[in-house]
Structure 1
Amino acid sequence: MTTDLRVLSPDDWDKWYRTLMLAFGGAEESAEERDLWNGLTEFDRSIGVWDGDACVGTAGAFSFRVTVPGGALVPAAGITMVSVAATHRRRGVLTSMMRRQLDDVRSWGEPLAVLTASEPMIYGRFGYENATQQLRAEIDTARVRLTVPPGTDDVRLRLAEPGADAVRDACEAVYARQVATRPGMLARRPGWERLPVLDPESERKGTSPLQCVLAERDVAGEERGEVAGYARYFIRPEWDTAGPKGTIELRDLEAVDPAAYAALWRFLFDIDLTSTLKTHNRPVDDAWQHLVSDIRRCGPALRDSLYVRLVDVGAALEARTYHTPVDVVFEVEDTFCPWNEGRWRLTGDAKGASCRRTTDAADLALSVRELGAAYLGGVSLTSLAAAGRVREVRQGALAEASTGFSSVVAPWLPHGF
């Protein structure tokens, strides 16, 4: 059966998006959510596979900039909306879309492609590997106490309407200040500020509407304070014969300093008629873990998050800095993007890096997947070597490279796409 892969036309978006929704179970979305994703779709970076008039495959690529170790914002294709119709499995549809996408990303001059995977096993054969994790927790706020730093009581808290323009803008300004401080964070382009406040009633499933609290500091002569942080959350009320036992479900929280950060967490712990606080996506080194009295009653758990693919090995490795000096030759395997295969000499430190092709003897042998896993500093090359996925050729090269690739803060993807 002949299929046609082509760039998405705005006229075909409804049929293309319906194929995507069917592949993910077919549940109806709200008009608000459909409108958001329609507005964010970059048509010239999206493709579909067609069998006659039927759309049987979908894939898109957002034009992101992602923070890398050292604080630089590096262009990255945010691979998204990938699906294959159930009627067209095992016919090469996914492979054809992955091939076209990576060729396109290379032609756009973007050294990275990133994605979140519905199933972890899907994308390894195309060179992607998990590079960040997200921390989940279910905190027993009835029994866990917080110890907050000095200055917390000086922070003023104010409930605000999350979707109001001024409130949303203030939260976006706080978020933007945090982007350069942690690898894996995305610089949000215009339009993406709508995603964190998306709140269709059909998706609440028993929770309150989205709520927002701002952490503010007084400014002389101003009625409103300077916003130093925010938390957006839902409340799920619940009662039993013993009384109230509601749950706070945290969507996101950002703050520019420890006092504002602690004030927001204390607020969430103290909300009346609740006894549980659930977090679904926090950095693995999130500081609340050092404020709580009993980490065991917080139920921390990890899950894979952002998958990274180096589309241009040389440009990608040059774009970041290195925690300690490195001078290492990689022997890289990359069967899906053969332009990356061969030996690359990486030299770099905290000020910058160079990565060039070389004929020198290899120090480490690995595939592009291992480089993707280690790229943001959250997965150590030493750990990958212990799993047999990195081979040390020159003694000492593994420790040198693994330390150099590390990040002083854990990489983190703050939201999906």
Structure 2
Amino acid sequence: MKWVRPGDSDYDEARTVFNAMIDRRPAVIAQCATAGDVRSALMYARENHLEVAVRSGGHSVAGMSLNDGGLVIDVRPMKQISFDPQSRTATVGGGVTWGEFDRAGQRHGLATTGGRVSTTGVSGFTLGGGSGWLERSWGLACDNLVSVDLVTASGEEMTASADENRELFWALHGGGGNFGVATSFTFRLHDVGQELLCGLLLWPIDAAREAALACRDYLPTAPAGLGGALACLVAPPEEFVPAGLQGKPALGAVAVYAGDPAEAEQSMRPLRGLAPAVDIIAPRPYADFQCMLDDQPGQLNYWSADYHDDFPDDAVDIFLDYGRRLPHESSQLLLVPWGGAVAKADAVLTPMARRDATWVTHPFTLWQDPARTEDAIGWAKGFRRDIAAFTSGGVYLNFIGNEGQDRIRAAFGEENYARLAQTKRNYDPENVFHGNQNILPAAAEPVAH
């Protein structure tokens, strides 16, 4: 284990996370390569009365991967990756990113639902549920878990699976990093082959309403093998984009089909038939597709999200209106179709509520000039305010920052939250792991006299 402290030459690099708005200065960063290192770091934090944060990919938009004046358990050195094509499983360390996972799987033509940005850490993404392009085919990342190894607040090394510590395993299907430091994950894998049909369509946003309505009508009923999203974005300065559209707001449709190539062509025909100005849907390796929308690190970030049971014409108009007013060329506004395997997952296997939502909206705000911060955050909050009449009350926590206990409870519902709180009391009664979408430990039962 390596200890990194203020004054060390690598301290600033070690405390840098994806969101450049976050500038926190831990007293010490423990770069842990083993479960034993994690246990030692937790003991050090306890002995020195230090708050604890846990860092993997560092993509928490609220900066929950860091703290000020405390200890950060950095699991990025845990980079072991093992794929078993015969059992169709993969076991990876807690510091692996989805880009690393997907590249390793591509050699075997195998994958599981992973992050839409390749630098996202496997750990936080999966523990928070794991919404990705392949979710309509195979469910969320957490639905594909076989087991999780972790170190609890007391320093105990445990394995959670369907056969071992089952209540803890249930809580790890979306309950986040509340219950321990995950050191290893084993996933079920699925065939993606050497290439699959995937890519991007673009329309100028001022001529996109008809396409948006058609996509809105088609995507929820499309074959489960078709994953993707509608995205308002600024068209990039790339050769495949007409010169008149480059740098202008556009409506995009991201599409990927996990399944038979002949069915893929048929499933995408309704989208490709909407006269897009850009059509770069083509066969390509899944691992390459996963990098297509990667954002440049070092930008300022603010995100939020909501669930929708339906998305009427008036909601589409609000979506497109905000898409015309993106605060920066890196900002995006996503409308993600759920359904398929996401909705079919057995509700008793995960604490996440309202997985039958039809849509998820996700204002994904990135900008570079700190002087624009108020306007950029105001744009995202304004969208949430104006779309509120069409929301269902649920939320996917990996898509939001620090928005309070009401939003956390909305993600699980009261019954599941109460059950999670009991699990939290069993494994972290002192709330050592509170640098997250925090589930408060249930109050101890009064002692009878």
Higher relative contact order (CA 8 A, sep 6+): 1
TM-score, structure 2 as length reference: 0.23
| Higher alpha-carbon Rg | 1
More strand by share: 1
> TM-score under structure 1 normalisation?
0.24
